[in-house]
């Protein structure tokens, strides 16, 4: 793997993946549309960090725009596409499903068509554990996942299926990665741990949807980025879980850890559980271990400590971020 197009490179996972690709000496071309789903200053902060590591071509384009994307494929030769650009977040997909369909489905389709046109043979697609709603944990890749409970999950499933069609028609090597609740420094402000750190530190009320016993198989962003890069060597079409793989962590335990690291107590307000949320997620990661020789190294205790440290160092940025 030498020439890579990374989409969504200003994003939480994308920027960490860019950093590791640069460290690996890969010829990286990055793109992002810097949309304002959440505060763009956070995306700019991440890109500043990437640019401090290497002077890579960084396109401010929308993957929904076929003609803009065409120019990127005309200007560079790629061996691999890592498609992390997406509308993420379950709740907002209920309010504005159209942008989820255009970015997550049409954007992916544009990339697949351009791969065919320009003879690119490999794609990695970021998918999601939210497809497993209704299944028993631990979730494994053989589960049928035909009942997405949000538009977000439905568009991710659609993107997976388009990738399968292109793999079947043109033999693209394809890795579909189902990420499980990714967390870490410079994360997404719509994610609970990010909000909880800010709210607890600022003495604001922490809103929890449900009683806090719901649990997630949290996975640290560095582990996810490493697995994403490893997946570019996958042959054929493979769906692979990247998750913490241990006992899922409850929201209440996460809050306890944040309280400890900040040295402050949370003031909690419990709200009704949302019907598009899942009670529990838990990954069977044996396929990732076997195919990618991947496992997560970072415990929730270490990962949250690193996240709180990042927050404390970047308080000036985070205090102005609107949640
Ligand atoms: N963070 C998680 O817990 C998690 C879990 C499962 C799956 N995922 C998936 O991983 C990927 C990365 O997620 P993230 O948490 O880093 O989210 P993110 O929102 O921080 O990153 C996505 C990036 O894509 C960009 N983008 C969105 N639409 C675009 C478009 N049309 N054209 C170009 N760029 C566009 C955004 O500006 C953003 O910078 C997404 O595909 C997401 O669905 C994330």
The CATH H-level (homologous superfamily) assignment of domain 3-184+219-243+281-297 is NAD(P)-binding Rossmann-like Domain (3.40.50.720)
Distance CA 60, CA 244 (A): 32
| Domain ranges (residues) in the chain | 3-184+219-243+281-297
Sign of CA dihedral 113, 115, 121, 126: negative
Q: Which of 47, 61, 59, 44 is nearest to 18 (CA)?
A: 47
DSSP class per residue in 49-99: HHHHH----EEE--TT-HHHHHHHHHH---SEEEE------HHHHHH-HHH
* pLDDT, position 50: 98
Among 38, 92, 132, 152, the active-site one is 152
Instruction: Provide CB contacts within 8 A for 257, sequence distance 6+.
Output: 300, 301, 304, 305
* pLDDT, position 1: 57
Atom of ligand 1 nearest to the CA of 15: 16
Assess contact for 127 and 237: CB atoms under 8 A: no
> Has this prediction a pTM greater than 0.85?
yes
Q: Is 152 a catalytic residue?
A: yes
Distance CA 323, CA 315 (A): 14
Instruction: Provide CB contacts within 8 A for 220, sequence distance 6+.
Output: 182, 183, 184, 296, 297, 298, 302, 303, 306
Q: Which residues line ligand 1 (CB under 6 A)?
A: 7-8, 10-14, 32-35, 43, 62-64, 84-88, 103, 107, 126, 128, 179, 181-182, 188
- Which of 40, 64, 85 maximizes ligand 1 atoms within 8 Å of its Cβ, making it the mutation to test the pocket? 85
Under-50 pLDDT residues of the chain: none
- Which of 13, 91, 125, 242 maximizes ligand 1 atoms within 8 Å of its Cβ, making it the mutation to test the pocket? 13
pLDDT, tens digit, 9 for 90 and up, residues 306-323: 999 999 999 999 999 988
Distance 11 CA to ligand 1 centre (A): 6
Sign of CA dihedral 252, 253, 254, 260: positive
Assess contact for 13 and 126: CB atoms under 8 A: yes
pLDDT, tens digit, 9 for 90 and up, residues 67-125: 999 999 999 999 999 999 999 999 899 999 999 999 999 999 999 999 999 999 999 99
């Amino acid at each position: 793997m030498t020439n890579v197009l990374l989409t969504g490179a200003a994003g939480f996972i994308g920027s960490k993946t860019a950093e590791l690709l640069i460290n690996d000496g890969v010829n990286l071309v990055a793109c992002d549309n810097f949309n304002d789903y959440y505060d763009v200053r956070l995306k700019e902060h991440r890109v500043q960090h990437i640019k401090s590591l290497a002077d890579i071509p960084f396109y401010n384009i929308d993957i929904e725009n076929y003609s803009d994307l065409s120019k990127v494929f005309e200007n560079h030769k790629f061996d691999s596409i890592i498609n992390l650009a997406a509308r993420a977040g379950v709740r907002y997909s209920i309010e504005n499903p159209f942008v989820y369909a255009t970015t997550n489905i049409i954007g992916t389709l544009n990339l697949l068509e351009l791969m065919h046109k320009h003879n690119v043979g490999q794609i990695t697609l970021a998918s999601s554990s939210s497809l497993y709603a209704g299944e028993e944990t631990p979730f494994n890749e053989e589960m049928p996942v035909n009942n997405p409970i949000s538009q977000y999950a439905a568009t991710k499933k659609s993107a997976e299926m388009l990738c399968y069609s292109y793999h079947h028609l043109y033999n693209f090597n394809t890795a579909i990665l189902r990420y499980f609740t990714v967390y870490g420094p410079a994360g997404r402000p719509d994610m609970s741990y990010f909000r909880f750190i800010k709210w607890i530190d600022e003495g604001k009320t922490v809103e929890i949807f449900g009683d806090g016993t719901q649990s997630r198989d949290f996975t640290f962003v560095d582990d996810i980025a490493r697995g994403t890069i490893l997946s570019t060597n996958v042959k054929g079409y493979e769906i692979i879980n990247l998750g913490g793989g241990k006992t899922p962590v409850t929201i209440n335990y996460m809050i306890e850890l944040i309280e400890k690291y900040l040295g402050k107590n949370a003031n909690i307000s419990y709200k009704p559980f949302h019907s598009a949320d899942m009670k529990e997620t838990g990954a069977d990661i044996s396929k990732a271990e076997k195919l990618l020789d991947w496992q997560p190294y970072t415990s929730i205790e270490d990962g949250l400590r690193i996240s709180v440290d990042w927050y404390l160092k970047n308080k000036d940025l985070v205090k102005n971020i609107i949640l």
